[in-house]
Each structure stands twice: as C-alpha cells, then as structure tokens.
Amino acid sequence: MKVLLLVTAALGVTFGQNLLVNGDFEQELSVGWVQDTGGYGYMTFARDTAYEPDPDYEALDSLYSGNGISKLGQTVDVPGPALHLSFRANFGIGAGSSTCWPVACVAVGYLDSDDNRLGETRFFYHNEYCDWVPSGTFSLINVTDPNWNQYELDVADELSQNLPDVDPGDVSRIEVALLDTTSGG
C-alpha cells in the first residue's frame, strides 16, 4: 500500500497576506508545521527541491505499506472567512482494496476559538473503495488528475455553498494539512 502526497511552495492562506508560517517550505518542516501519525506503516515527512521541476522547495507526506494516517499540518488564527487558499499539488496513491483503501488529500479544517472542529474541506485523490461522503460539515473536492496542478479555494464561498452547517461567524482558526490515510484513517 502506498499513499504519497507532494505539495509545492504555493501553499498559502491569504487575507492580504500569507497567514501560514513557512507556507513555502523554504525552511525546515519543524518551522510552522506539525507532524502527526497514527497506526502503522512507513511514514515520511520531507522537503526537497526535486519533487517538482522548479527551483522551489516542496513538502512530502508519505504513508507506505501500512494502515494509519500521516499528517503535516498547521493551524492559524484567521480574521474571518474572507480567505483564499492557493496551492500546487501532486497526489499519488498505490493499490488498494475494499478493506484497505488509500487516500491522499489536502485538508482545510474550520475551527472555532476553542479549537472545536466545525467542518472540513478535503481535496482528495482516492481509489474506487473510498467511502467518504460529503455532509453539511464535510466537503469533498475530487482530484481527478494526480499530476502537478494548481488548486484554489475561496473559503467564504466554500462555507456558504458546500458547508451549510458551519456558521462562518464562528470560524476563527483554520488548519491546513497534507493528509495521507489508508482504510479511512
């Protein structure tokens, strides 16, 4: 089982400024980013300039041959939902089955001031066995081309159009994470 996610330097949440610390991955991943794992398997977090053919750094979150989750994330205070997320990503997954299915995604979590998760949006690449289902607090954006592409998210539009059970006025923090999981994690 292989789940692989690469994200480039263009990862940023903006409201007239980049709110992420080290959102371009030009510094070590320990600056601004938190690594979280669960379950078992070979989990790798890295940064390099060789993942995409450009001179900038990209980050790698990889879960290989296991059943679990690996997450490289960052939570930031935001001035409100009038935010724009922009990133380039390359998503990769390996084989799977109905009992062990891989997913690679970029997740955007919406939190209140007490860090309660109000909802989440996931740009996700998966195989046919993934059983995630959208709801009023869980939005899924299907990635159909795993190669390097640019992705955009207008947070205010996302909340009003796809997450009707999340009150935009309650969102005071956002978590941006690279997430790899198998068997639903």
The per-residue pLDDT for 60 is 83
**Three-state SS at 135:** strand
The structure tokens listed for 16 are 């007239």
Distance CA(111)–CA(113), nearest Å, equals 7
Residues spanned by the domain of 71 = 2-182
C-alpha distances out from residue 185 to 78, 90, 104, 106, 130, Å: 27, 20, 11, 14, 11
Residue type, 165: D
HEC string of 12-47 equals EEECCCECCCCCCCCCCCCCCCEEEEEEEEEEEEEE
CATH code where residue 166 lies: 2.60.120
In contact, 8 and 60? CB cutoff 8 Å: no
pLDDT for the residue 54: 80
> How many separate domains does the chain show?
1
pTM over 0.75: yes
CA distances from 160 to 35, 123, 134 (A): 30, 17, 15
Per-residue model confidence as pLDDT tens for the chain (185 residues):
444 444 443 445 555 567 888 888 889 999 999 998 877 777 788 888 888 878 888 888 877 766 778 889 999 999 889 888 888 888 888 777 777 777 889 999 999 999 999 999 999 988 788 888 999 999 999 999 988 898 999 999 999 999 999 999 999 999 999 988 877 44
Tell me the two tokens of residue 171.
């969102």
CB neighbour class for 111 (10 Å; exposed up to 12, middle 13-18, buried from 19): buried
